[in-house]
Amino acid sequence: MIKTNAAGNQQITVFSILFAISLVHLLNDSIQSVIPAIFPILHESLKLSFSQIGWIAFTLNVTASMFQPLIGLYTDSKPKPFLLPAGVVFSLLGMVVLAFAGSFTQVIISVILIGLGSSVLHPEASRVAYLAAGPRRGLAQSIFQTGGNIGQALAPVFTALIFVPLGQFGIIWFTVAALAAILVQIFVAKWYRGYIVRQSTVKKTVKVMRNNLPKSMITYAMCILILLLFSKFVYVASMTGFYAFYLIDHFKISTEYAQVFIFALLAAGAVGTFLGGPMADRFGRRNMIWFSILGTAPFSLLLPYVSLFWSAVLCVMIGFILLSGFSVIVVYAQELLPGKVGTVSGLFFGLAFGLGGIGSAVLGTVADATSISFVIQLCAYLPLIGLLAAFLPTDARLNLASVDSKQTVTN
């Protein structure tokens, strides 16, 4: 983590930029979340199996996961503001291909393009959130990620209002969202470029934060965080990709009605994401990480066995608790690896997509071999992995291990 003290240096929280990238995150993730939300439509229109649906989700998420860490690593040393609008162009092309897709192969091509768009957005936009945060990094990350969660929550609504009446071609309307995102990204990129120019032309005192925890402990903590991401995002994949099918099969409800439950899950998750940062400031990051995963377990274990009404209630509880911790996990990891904002953001967003994609592919195959009910019952146990959060270094230990050195640099 690097902070600079100089004229022209960023010392305040730039809310206009934070809300701009949050809006772009909303638009991007609403585009990306159209893919699992439209699965019931593609299942009927293209006669896809559950395995093929799983592979579509796998391709989307793994494409994003492969490139995000690489882009983050590269731009840590060579920031590229123009990548912000350029990335959304890939998403725009992907939506056009998906609207006209007539085969499984064409759907795969479309989701590769959409995945590439997300792989550029997340590490670079997360870096912009870090730069615009000033002293309020937790709040900044929550604002940024709340936009994404709102976008995900809107996807089931779009399915019910657009895709069910208009079918697959209704996706073409999302090109408007992509064009709007490109315009906002141009605005953000100009600010980002100006920030880089200001930092390259001032004499500044640089405070370089280092983490003095043993490397073995940092590795150990990172492995725990990755396992926690596994439990979180494979469970989310089971819900966003397959829970609508479970509701349709188990309760004999319509596709439109089933999407209401997914919306409830994701909308509650957006609220949880926004409040997660302030809650972590109040109760501690490690405690918040622990609560956000393990706290979901009682509700996930009950979900397969309750009535339709209580299913809606539990979806709200699960969404709020489970999704409240991801921004906290990212900030915690950034403190484990100071000075690697892009790399850490790319790695963790990439893992989120990759683990969700692998989970979708596996769960789709399991659903074909067994049943949707079995998949939902099996995934209910995943939040129990949250017990591992107890073995993370405490916030106090993390703070004690952080030291700084100062040097004056003239550019």
406 versus 213: the higher-pLDDT residue is: 213
Asked if the structure places residue 322 within a domain, the reply is: yes
Asked if the structure places residue 216 within a domain, the reply is: yes
Asked if the structure places residue 408 within a domain, the reply is: no
Q: Domains in the chain: how many in total?
A: 1
Instruction: Inform me whether the pLDDT recorded for 366 exceeds 50.
Output: yes
Instruction: Inform me whether the pLDDT recorded for 340 exceeds 80.
Output: no
- Which pLDDT band, with edges at 50, 70 and 90, does 325 fall under? confident
Asked if the structure places residue 377 within a domain, the reply is: yes
Asked if the structure places residue 144 within a domain, the reply is: yes
Instruction: Find out whether 411 and 257 touch, Cβ atoms under 8 Å.
Output: no
Q: State residue 11's pLDDT score.
A: 66
Q: Which residues have a Cβ under 8 Å from the Cβ of 202 and sit 6 or more positions away?
A: 6, 7, 8, 9, 411
Instruction: Inform me whether the pLDDT recorded for 248 exceeds 90.
Output: yes
User: b/e map of 105-117 (b: 16 or more CB within 10 Å)?
Assistant: eebbebbbbbbbb
Q: Give φ, ψ of 284 to 5 degrees.
A: 100, 145
380 versus 137: the higher-pLDDT residue is: 380
CATH number of the domain within which 345 lies? 1.20.1250.20
Instruction: Inform me whether the pLDDT recorded for 4 exceeds 60.
Output: no
- Which pLDDT band, with edges at 50, 70 and 90, does 32 fall under? confident
Instruction: Inform me whether the pLDDT recorded for 127 exceeds 90.
Output: no
Asked if the structure places residue 119 within a domain, the reply is: yes
Asked if the structure places residue 150 within a domain, the reply is: yes
Helix (H, G, I), strand (E, B) or coil at 397: helix
Query: In whole angstroms, what is the distance from residue 87 CA to residue 83 CA?
Result: 6
Q: State residue 279's pLDDT score.
A: 85
Q: Where are the beta strands (DSSP E) in 9-58?
A: none
Asked if the structure places residue 409 within a domain, the reply is: no
Q: State residue 126's pLDDT score.
A: 81
Other C-beta atoms closer than 10 Å to the C-beta of 202 total 15
Q: Which residues have a Cβ under 8 Å from the Cβ of 105 and sit 6 or more positions away?
A: none
User: b/e map of 226-242 (b: 16 or more CB within 10 Å)?
Assistant: ebbbbbbbbbbbbbbbb
Question: Residues 77-100: pLDDT tens digits?
Answer: 778 888 889 889 999 999 999 999
Range of the domain at 282: 2-400
Q: Give φ, ψ of 401 to 5 degrees.
A: -80, -10
